[in-house]
Amino acid sequence: MNVLEAVLTVISILTALVLVRVIIGPTIWDRLLGLNMISAKIIMSIIILAVLTERTYLMDVALAYSVLGFIGTILIARFVEKKGEF
């Protein structure tokens, strides 16, 4: 078991724990916080996978995903704040 593979399994377990908070989360903003953390964890695991398998093009995927995750979070936060009508 390589170190990076062990780290990947630990990160996926932590993602499942954050998912519990997304499900329980009393308010919408807890869910948004959970989604924000899950996207950060997904970016970490993409890059660890890229380093593990020496596929450097996966890092561009992580870059694009982090930009889109950021824009998605901002839009949802504004949508919730403006209560629907932008």
Partner 1 sequence: MNIIISNLLIFVSLGFMIFGIIGIFRFKDFYARILISSKVETVGFLTIMVGLMFRTGISYSTMKIMLICLLAIITNPLSTHAIARSAYLSGYKTGKEN
Query: What amino acid occupies position 43?
Result: I
- 20-59 residues near partner 1, rule: CB under 8 A: 21, 26-27, 29-30, 32-34, 36-37, 40-41, 43-44, 47-48, 50-51, 56, 59
What's the closest the beta carbon of residue 86 comes to partner 1, in angstroms? Answer: 13
Nearest distance in Å: CB 68, partner 1: 11
**81, burial (CB in 10 Å: exposed 0-12, middle 13-18, buried 19+):** exposed
Q: Does 61 bind partner 1 (CB under 8 A)?
A: no
Widest CA span in the chain: 51
